[in-house]
Amino acid sequence: MKKIKKAVIPVAGFGTRFLPATKAQPKEMLAIIDKPVIQYIVEEMVASGIEEIILVTGQGKRAIEDHFDQNKPLEVHLERNNKIKELEEIRHLSEMAYFVYLRQKGPYGNATPVLNVEKLIGSEPFVFAFGDDLIKGEVPATKQMMEVFYKYQSPVIGVTQVAKEKVHRYGVIDGEKVEDRVYKVKDIVEKPLPKDAPSNLAVAGRYIFTPDIFEAVKKTEIGKGGELWLADAVDLLLTQRDFYAYQYQGRYYDCGNKLEFLKAIVDFALEREEFKEEFKNYLKNLKI
């Protein structure tokens, strides 16, 4: 099996849940303190051994490209003012991976970016990570999933455990446990009622695909809401080959959700040495 070197991150969505903040800036550029969500995701990919980042963009997403591009005037300014730490951080952004930007074309839906990258991926396996799904853990979630992929030589879906009463928000796997945290997937049930859910393991933000996903998406019909759904393509591929799910170790944040975004800011702030104690005391003293 070929080594996984490429990651695809779709970032073409409108971000309507965060309007008006996302009217003039991409939702993926909303910051967790001083770093945009998309940077955390790219850094996870790089820390997992990914060398090429393919960002499937849309109109109004230029800020993402600028963020990972060189900014010579800013670098000169930082160097002149002896802000070496900031200078190194800025230079690292454009140097940590090879970036490719591709405009999304085709029907609306979260499977369309997969179709768009077929020629760039070719016959290689690849990571697919949504641009607003953040996972915080000691070992990158993508790296954990890669180990499962190499062991079983099959596509891997990242899952996380959710409260039973919240399963209706997610796609939930029906699977057979084969080892600790690893499941052979029988089916994915989209947004089931709690009483009908086969498990409380929700599909959350990360996939590792093999190239046969492209034909599966091509054969997938437009589904609910007039959209082309990745879940429908995965369901089709499930009938043709083995799929595994891995319950990654780490905290999952849906940063397209306002409450989850706020939780991420608090959790990340409590780990920042420069102000974590003062922030912790502030939270303790709130009259809640």
CA–CA separation, 61 vs 14, rounded Å? 9
Does the residue 38 lie in any domain? yes
Q: pLDDT tens for residues 27-47?
A: 999 999 999 999 999 999 999
Q: Please give the single-letter amino acid code of residue 177.
A: K
Provide the pLDDT for residue 165.
86
Does the residue 130 lie in any domain? yes
Q: Is the pLDDT of residue 26 over 90?
A: yes
Tell me the average pLDDT across 148-163: 94
Does the residue 147 lie in any domain? yes
Other Cβ atoms closer than 10 A to 271: 8
For residues 106 and 159, the model is more confident at 159
Provide the pLDDT for residue 170.
84
Does the residue 115 lie in any domain? yes
Task: Output the 3-class SS for the chain.
Answer: CCCCCEEEEECCCCCHHHCCCCCCCCHHHCEECCEEHHHHHHHHHHHCCCCEEEEEECCCCHHHHHHCCCCHHHHHHHHHCCCHHHHHHHHHHHHCCEEEEEECCCCCCCCHHHHHCHHHHCCCCEEEECCCEEEECCCCHHHHHHHHHHHHCCCEEEEEECCHHHHHHCEEEEEEEEECCEEEEEEEEECCCHHHCCCCEEEEEEEEECCCHHHHHHHCCCCHHHCCCHHHHHHHHHCCCCCEEEECCCEEEECCCHHHHHHHHHHHHCCCCCCHHHHHHHHHCCCC
Tell me the average pLDDT across 48-63: 94
Q: Is the pLDDT of residue 142 over 90?
A: yes
Q: What are residue 9's DSSP bridge partners?
A: 55
Does the residue 259 lie in any domain? no
Tell me the average pLDDT across 66-90: 94
CA–CA separation, 60 vs 26, rounded Å? 7
CATH number, domain with residue 28: 3.90.550.10
* pTM (2 d.p.): 0.93
Provide the pLDDT for residue 79.
93
Provide the number of structural domains found in the chain: 1
**Cβ contact 249:255 at 8 Å:** no
Provide the pLDDT for residue 145.
96
Give the phi and the psi of residue 241 in degrees, each rounded to 5: -160, 170
For 151, the token pair is 């062991």
CA–CA separation, 154 vs 179, rounded Å? 15
Does the residue 288 lie in any domain? no
Name the average pLDDT for the chain.
92
Tell me the average pLDDT across 214-222: 92
Residue appearing with tokens 């454009």: 94
Q: Is the pLDDT of residue 1 over 80?
A: no
Provide the pLDDT for residue 194.
86
Provide the pLDDT for residue 68.
95
For residues 167 and 152, the model is more confident at 152
Provide the pLDDT for residue 131.
92
Provide the pLDDT for residue 49.
96
Q: Is the pLDDT of residue 3 over 80?
A: yes
Tell me the average pLDDT across 97-103: 95
CA–CA separation, 228 vs 222, rounded Å? 5
Q: Is the pLDDT of residue 184 over 90?
A: yes
Q: Please give the single-letter amino acid code of residue 123.
A: S
For residues 106 and 259, the model is more confident at 259
Provide the pLDDT for residue 30.
95
Does the residue 283 lie in any domain? no
Residue appearing with tokens 């008006």: 20
Does the residue 113 lie in any domain? yes
Q: pLDDT tens for residues 222-262?
A: 888 888 888 889 999 998 999 999 999 999 999 989 999 99
Residues 6+ apart with CB under 8 A from 119: none
| Beta-sheet pairing, 244-247 with 182-190 | antiparallel
CA–CA separation, 275 vs 288, rounded Å? 21
| CA 243, 4, 119, 102 torsion-angle sign | positive
Tell me the average pLDDT across 51-80: 94
Residues 6+ apart with CB under 8 A from 73: none
Give the phi and the psi of residue 188 in degrees, each rounded to 5: -120, 120
Domain coverage including residue 101: 6-254
